[in-house]
Amino acid sequence: MVDAALLAQHAVNALMLGIMYALVAVGFTLFFGVLDVIKFSHGDVLTVGAFTGLTVWLALVAVDLATPWLAVALLVLVPALATALLGALIGRFVVLPLKGAPPLNVLLATLMCGTILREAIRLFYPGGANPKPFPALLPTTAYQLGNLNLRLDSVLLFLTGVAIVVALHLVINRTRLGLAIRAVAQDAEIARVMGIDHVRTVLITFAIGSALAAVAGIMHGLYYNEINFSMGLLLGVIGFSSAVVGGLGNVYGAILGGFLFAFLQTLGAMAMPFASAYRDVFAFAVVIAIMAVRPTGLIAERGVERA
Amino acid sequence: MMDATVRTGRPPRLPVLAHGIAATVLVGLYVTLFLEAESQSAVLGLLAVGAAAAVVAARSGVGTRVIEVLEHHPVAMGLLAAVLVLMETWLFAERHFVLLMITTYLLYVTVGLGLTIQFGYAGTLNFAGASFYGVGSYTAAVLTAVPGFPPLLAIPAGGLVAAVCGSLLVAPVLRTRGHYAAVVSIAFALLFKTFLEVNEVLGGPQGLLVGSLSVAGYDFAAPLRPWPGTEWSFYVHHVLAALLLALFAYAVARRIEHSWLGLAMDAVRMDEIAAACFGVGIERTKVVAFVWGNMLIGMAGALYATMVGFIAPNNFTFADSLIFLSILLLGGLGSRPGLLVAAAVVVFLPEKLQLIQEYRFLLFSALVLVMLMFRPEGLVPRPPRGYPGGGGGP
């Protein structure tokens, strides 16, 4: 008999991981939506976001302005803006020029781009090769719900993530910008004919997706209190897998995929408590199995053969 | 006036093989100087000379002739290449490190050829190259620990096990394409490394010791004494083994490309639907490419393991898979001559140029990125396919 409190603890953990994975996966699916490309540097953009956050924190400490709420606000805003710019730059100078190339070349080029970012952090950030401690800025008050130990910082992080997803939903469905993004995703040619600035829409989409990655990176840092130069690689692959499992191009599929992956990991850890390290093996094995059964994800991509 | 034009019009063509021999001699001379160079300025100078020579060869059409010779006289050129490697081995027979580099180069060429069959010909992207290399290595580690098992058989066994592991992935790889296929092999690469790290039986993160190769009691890990008073490095054995393996892999890849199977692979890569309309079995073609590729990669992995004597999960990371793919993209996708050049750049350059040792992942990624953006066909592009009796390429 599995302890109910333990089960609830696992569920909370899975929800936390799920919201982070979902934020990363949404980025992949947005990029794929507007340009039909995989931007594989996404995970490393996330790392850049996390390290920018750390730098902001160190700067705040240096000028003695490190009050928690100001720090949290800046720690989210500055990295989000920085990665939005970085994402748009990668879009403008790597992805868009490769428009006519085979899609796998874009994947490979952005993969190399990501390696450059990752290696640059490892080599040029002071002490970048080692894991860096990340400040615990949120109140860690713990609530006892029966046997369940619920920490306030987890709740706050989760709610922030949900709020961002809802905001994204509103932007995509209720604004002119969202309309433009959906139009470009549906048919870039027609969108252009209708007077939508293609390059601008694509770059804004890249900026939004990359900013989401930075938020996920900061959340990861705040939750685990540690960041390292290669954190983006695994998070990026998990986000990519989630987006693919959910069905590329579908924002809700990506969110679903993110939570699915987190629950698979947790399930793996629960089913094999003697070797919780097997959780990734289990989760990736299930992803491979899902791909074998449903080759274009759970929510199938519109039109299997794209021109 | 007329006479002068005729005389200077075209230099008489050298006999075909003379090009090959001349190229081999020049390459041999260059490689010897390069391996011998100690000071950083000498290495840089040699690099400049090499780059200039490459540009001249490309501009004057000599490069194309050499590649043609490579294609049309495989046996002669294979022998010449073997002689070249043997000469270098003999020259550096007492220096462990140089021989280790040469062996690594030959193993990378083998892996690259495996990936060329998969990705370059059939278009099946494999992001788990280092994982299949690892499967071969771990197979060798396990088998050489079995008492009474003939160690030399560990190498084909490594290839076989890698091919079998690859066939576990065949179902998802066949059903998916493009980005979806990429995620399958990336997931496998991460799964494999995590599995090795948490698995106690296979040594966990600490890794495993691997027994050495031996034939009828003759140990490959012992120094070689060709005649009394001389002692050669034990790596000489491994250079020879890796040379045989690389030649085998090259022959396999070349035979596949020049067969109907290679034509089918090209068709599948370029347009699956059109290929299916012309009666090409897409699934069969992809399976053959995937299995043969993994087989070669696994054999190289097994030989690597028995050479270094110790393996750990960190030898088979995703970054290593990317390095393997970089070799393909640098050289030119599907281009075997390009592969030979690119593997040399990737293996020798960071070892000789300590300046860039630390920055090699950064530099290679930047190099491949620039390549993809401005010269996607690679350093030595694959020539268009020629058809017997018809037009087309060489």
Query: What pLDDT, on a 0 to 100 scale, did the predictor assign at position B1?
Result: 40
Domains of chain A: 4-293 (1.10.3470)
Mean pLDDT to the nearest integer, A27-56: 90
CA distance A131 to A31: 30
Residues of chain B with Cβ-Cβ distance to A107 below 8 Å are 179, 182
Q: Which amino acid is present at A263? A: F
For residue A233, give the nearest of B188, B191, B318 by CB distance: B318
CA distance B108 to B104: 6
CA distance B101 to B87: 15
pLDDT tens for A160-218 read 999 999 999 999 889 999 999 889 888 888 999 999 999 999 999 999 999 999 999 99
Residue closest to A79 by CA, chosen among A23, A123, A162, A38? A23
CA distance A241 to chain B (A): 6
- In a mutational test of the A interface, the residue from B179, B197, B269, B357 whose CB has the highest number of chain A CBs within 10 Å is B179
How much is the ipTM here? 0.84
CA–chain centroid gap for B308, Å, is 18
For residue A277, give the nearest of B177, B186, B198 by CB distance: B198
pTM: 0.87
Taking 3-state DSSP, the helix, strand and coil percentages for chain A, each rounded to the nearest 5, stand at 75, 5, 20
Quick check: A284 and B187 CB within 8 A?
Answer: yes
> In this structure, are residues A107 and B179 in contact, taking their beta carbons and an 8 Å threshold?
yes
Query: What pLDDT, on a 0 to 100 scale, did the predictor assign at position B309?
Result: 85
CA distance A129 to chain B (A): 12
> In this structure, are residues B340 and B379 in contact, taking their beta carbons and an 8 Å threshold?
no
Q: Does the beta carbon of B329 lie under 8 angstroms from any beta carbon of chain A?
A: yes
Residues of chain B with Cβ-Cβ distance to A105 below 8 Å are 372, 376
CA distance A243 to chain B (A): 10
Query: What pLDDT, on a 0 to 100 scale, did the predictor assign at position B391?
Result: 47
Mean pLDDT to the nearest integer, A21-27: 93
- pLDDT at position A149 over 80: no
- In a mutational test of the A interface, the residue from B271, B327, B330, B365 whose CB has the highest number of chain A CBs within 10 Å is B365
Q: Which amino acid is present at A301? A: E
For residue B191, give the nearest of A97, A284, A297 by CB distance: A284
CA distance B161 to chain A (A): 19
| 394 residues of chain B, pLDDT tens digit each | 444 444 444 555 567 778 788 888 888 888 888 888 878 888 888 888 888 888 888 888 778 888 878 877 888 888 888 888 888 888 887 788 888 999 999 999 999 999 999 999 998 888 899 999 999 999 999 998 888 788 888 899 999 999 999 888 887 877 777 777 788 888 888 888 888 888 778 877 788 888 777 777 677 777 777 777 777 777 888 888 999 999 999 999 999 998 899 999 999 988 888 999 998 888 899 999 999 999 999 999 999 998 888 898 888 988 889 889 889 988 888 899 899 989 998 888 888 877 777 888 888 889 889 988 888 888 888 887 776 655 444 4
CA distance A301 to chain B (A): 11
Nearest CA in chain B to A29: B179
- With a CB cutoff of 8 Å and minimum separation 6, the contacts of A93 are none
- pLDDT at position A77 over 50: yes
Rg (CA), chain A: 19
